[in-house]
Every structure is written in structure tokens, then in C-alpha cells.
Amino acid sequence: MKKSILLIIGAILTSGIVISQDLTINDHSKLFYKFTEFDKAVTYSFSISSITPTISYEWGNSNKEENNGNGLITQEALETALNLTFFYTDVVLVTMYDRTPSFLVSKKIYGELKNTGKSRIRLQDNENANTLQIVGVEDFEIIINKEVKKVKVLHATFSGDSGSEIWILDNPDFPIVVKLKSQKEYELKEVKQ
């Protein structure tokens, strides 16, 4: 038995996968997502400029036809926003008061999922909100500083027959969307801290 445990630990250590309970996002962290819609894949990057007192970030993508931009997420949005938006514009600065960008859900959504197993979310300003139902806490592999690591995520499904699912980093301070499957597919591939 003891030998089996040592072999498993040795296999984990030599595989290059490090189990990480917390992925910490700091000023100057960079998030890279693969975004797929209509069989077209684009890489979106979000560079966090500042975390406090509001979150400011720059975004860009690999589609040369689209411009880059800047965003600001207010504390109110981070705490209570119901809306998750995929709309990015090249306006000098977009301030989000009642929504979060596609890489982050509000602390309210995270807290309700974690504590009650349910929450509400509205994608891309849809008129109707969907109910999220927790499936469980899972491990999810992400490249962090050029190293494959496992992080804990909350996995939830959307109400109805949509088949939509979301995976959210199990971090109450910065609940990042790690993956979203709906009409679009969106997945965090790499983080540079």
C-alpha cells in the first residue's frame, strides 16, 4: 500500500502537472482564452493592469480585423453583476457598472453557487436570466507561467435544454471563467503572472 502511494506521488511529480488550489491574479497578470464561434477560433488576451480599487484591463485578440481596447470593472459590478458580456469595443475606455467581461463572474454569482448550489446569470444582455445549477467541484488543467497546473473549479449547468455549461475558478476574490460552453465556446488556456 505504502509503495503504491509513493509510486503515484512519483508519477505526479514526474508528469509535469502541479496541483494548485489557488490561481492568484495580480496586477500585470495576463489571461489567454481560446474563443470559438461559427467554427472559427480566435485567441483573446486580457492584461490586468490593476486590481484595486477597481479592476482595469486591456484586451486584444488574434483577429487582425478587430481592434484592441481597455476596460474598467467597478467594485459594484465585481460584487453583484448578473450580466456576463462578450462585447468588446475599441472605445478608449469601457466602464462596466452592471456587468462583467467574459473572463470574470461576480462574487455574488460565485458565492451563491458555492453556498447554495444555484445562482442566476444573464449572458450577453439577454432579457432572461438563466439559473445555474452546480454539478460539482473539479480539477481543471491550465498552463500557468509555462507550467501545466491543476486548479479547482466550480462546474455548473444552465437551466433548460440548452446544454450550456460554465466552469468558474474556485476563488472567492477573483472568480475567473475558466470555460464556457454555449453557442460559443470559450476556454482559458494560459495565465502569465
pLDDT over threshold 70, residue 88:
no
Whether the model clears a pTM of 0.85, i.e. scores above it, the answer is no
pLDDT over threshold 70, residue 125:
no
Distance separating alpha carbons of residues 119 and 77, to the nearest angstrom: 16
Q: Does residue 101 have a cis bond before it (omega within 30 degrees)?
A: no
Using DSSP's 3-state secondary structure scheme, residue 13 falls into helix
Model confidence band, residue 25 (pLDDT cutoffs 50, 70, 90): confident
The identity of residue 182, as a single letter, is: S
Grid cell, residue 74, equals 467597478
Distance separating alpha carbons of residues 71 and 65, to the nearest angstrom: 19
